[in-house]
Amino acid sequence: MRTLDIKDGTIASVLVADELASNQDGSLDVVVRLQDGRRFGFTLFTLEHLRRQLDQALSFVSPGMLVVKHFSDEAILDAVRSAMRHDLERLGVLQPPINQ
């Protein structure tokens, strides 16, 4: 797990569960840490991942889905900022504290 420091208003940092270069699955788990101590988890998906899922099934459901063009620090931070503008609490899953 690595941290993307964002220091952007209410966002303290973004924790990325996997290394970007080694992620072949098309999904990436992140945890957003807010300045007030709350933490929210998300799974980011690429369009290619969604295409593969729909090749194998008629539907794909994921609560609070966030889609990114590709996995890069810039795209991850853009998705987190967008989630904040659209009420992060509705899009994420509240996470227990992380021991670091």
For the stretch 11-62, pLDDT in tens is 888 888 766 545 567 888 888 888 888 888 888 888 888 888 899 999 888 7
CA–CA separation, 96 vs 62, rounded Å? Answer: 20
Beta-strand (E) ranges in the chain? Answer: 2-8, 11-16, 27-34, 39-46, 66-68, 93-94
5 has pLDDT over 80: no
For the stretch 74-92, pLDDT in tens is 888 888 888 888 777 666 6
